[in-house]
Chains A and B, each alone.
Chain A
């Protein structure tokens, strides 16, 4: 992205250079004042993390890209409603989850189909490895919410409370889901079928 793009004026007509805005908090404050450039910097910080996460929630890469675009548009539109008590990433992932769910519902209504495993966007993005990627296993054995909880907890390093907020679930549900998902994946990792013998995935 060119430097010219960053040198824009905000709604108050103030010329700004986001390169000087060091912290996330400062970027958020500038975005709340109407700076597209500051928000674009936030987009740059989060776009890959969000896309990786959305690839597992959406049926195709195109859906994931639509979801990420909607997420950033909604986030910018409602940036003034953002409460700094929350982590910005929690707020952003929450919006992303809502958009992913909305797009999935629209797809299911339009086509009445289940996700096509042959064109799994996650599989396409995984670097070839000697062993199967654990997230592919997780996707097969966990529910969508349980998968998201695991991702947010162990990849995004969110606290249990933040995971619960992002998923809009109770903290107790999140704790139990994380515990059962870990147990299940641990069993899968060691090649046992202890967890699968206990029934369906929780969540």
Chain B
């Protein structure tokens, strides 16, 4: 396959050399006359530079504007979230959130003796009042 391609390249070169394309004297004269009446055009060096400069300036300004817009939007959203948090968030956390065990069950266990104690105190107070009344009746 490689040999075939090498042969192809050789034959392409060889066959191209068999194409005879001589430029006639008349044709050469035409070209010469055309060139004599033609002037090279000076490329304007400012044009591509100004185009590049304006492109650079435009892209820079667009980038800056986009960055500023993003910063403003991010800050705006953050301030809204902060205000919302201060309004809704309680200043002191509830006790139930801080106590890791169920509070209702503990309440029952803790209050029963206190109520009994209260009843004892009330009965003691009643006994004391009856003693005071009895002493007063006996004295007067």
Contact = CB atoms under 8 A, between A and B. Distances in A.
B13 interface: yes
B90 interface: no
A47 B32 CA distance: 12
Contacts of B22: 48
Nearest to B8: A186
Interface in A109-134: 122, 125-127, 129, 133-134
Contacts of A36: 35-36
B18 A52 contact: no
A60 to B, nearest CB: 13
A129 B34 contact: no
A51 to B, nearest CB: 4
B41 interface: yes
B39 A154 contact: no
A135 to B, nearest CB: 5
B8 A189 contact: yes
Given A47-B28, A72-B35, A182-B5, A150 B40 contact: no
Interface residues of B, number: 30
Interface string A73-88: 1001111110000000
B82 to A, nearest CB: 54
A69 B30 contact: yes
Contacts of B15: 133-135
B35 A135 contact: no
Interface in B1-51: 4-5, 7-9, 11-13, 15-16, 18-23, 27-28, 30-32, 34-36, 38-43
A91 interface: no
B49 to A, nearest CB: 15
A127 B7 CA distance: 20
A73 B5 contact: no
Main SS of the interface on chain B? helix
A79 B42 CA distance: 9
A43 B28 CA distance: 9
B30 A125 contact: no
**Max chain A Cβ within 10 angstroms of own Cβ: one of B20, B39, B40:** B40
A77 B32 contact: no
Given A52-B16, A185-B8, A190-B4, A77 B39 contact: yes
Interface of A: 1, 5, 31-32, 34, 36, 39-40, 43, 47-48, 51-52, 55, 65, 68-69, 72-73, 76-81, 122, 125-127, 129, 133-135, 138, 150-151, 154-155, 182, 185-186, 189-190
20 contacts: A39-B35, A43-B31, A51-B23, A52-B16, A68-B23, A68-B27, A73-B38, A78-B40, A80-B43, A125-B19, A126-B18, A127-B19, A133-B18, A134-B8, A150-B12, A154-B13, A182-B8, A185-B8, A185-B12, A186-B5
Interface of B: 4-5, 7-9, 11-13, 15-16, 18-23, 27-28, 30-32, 34-36, 38-43
Given A40-B32, A76-B40, A154-B12, 5 more contacts: A34-B40, A68-B27, A78-B43, A154-B13, A186-B8
